[in-house]
Amino acid sequence: QVELVESGGGSVQAGGSLRLSCAPSGRPLYGFSKAWFRRAPGKEREFVAGIRRNGVGTLYADSVKGRFSISRDDAKDLVYLQMNSLKPEDTADYLCAVDSQRMIQFRAEDYWGQGTQVTVSS
C-alpha cells in the first residue's frame, strides 16, 4: 500500500524549474517531519531535502543548496520541493518520505511514496 503520492515530475532542459508535490494517500500526515530523497539509475537512494514538522528547520544536500527549496502547507497536508536551475545530474526518481516514527531516520518503517521521475536534458 502506498502511503504517499508524489506529483509534478517531468522532463525539462538544463536551467529549467519544476515543483514537486507530495500528498498522503490515506491518513493525515501534517504533524510529522518530512523529506525528499532521490534515486538515480545505478545509484543508491540519497537525501535531498528535509523539513521539520513545525516548518522552522530545513536541511539540504550540498548538491542542491541554493537551487532547491522544501516547504510545507499543513492546511493542505502537502509538502513541496521547488527545484530551480536544474542540472542533468539532478535526473532521478524523486521520493517523498514522512517521519512517522519521529526518529528523523526515514527507515523502511516510515511512510514513503513510490516516486516521480525528473529528467533534465542538456
- Of the candidates 111, 89, 14, 73, the residue with the CA atom closest to the CA atom of residue 81: 73
Strand-pair partners of 11: 119
What pLDDT score does 1 carry? 57
Question: What single DSSP character describes residue 102?
Answer: S
* DSSP secondary structure of 17-36: -EEEEEEESSS--TTS-EEE
pLDDT in tens, the chain (122 residues): 578 999 999 999 999 999 999 999 999 999 999 999 999 989 999 999 999 998 889 999 999 999 999 999 999 999 999 999 999 999 999 999 999 999 888 988 899 999 999 999 99
The CA distance from 36 to 81, in Å, is: 8
The CA distance from 67 to 113, in Å, is: 23
- Of the candidates 120, 75, 70, the residue with the CA atom closest to the CA atom of residue 93: 120
With contact defined as beta carbons under 8 Å apart, do 5 and 115 qualify? no
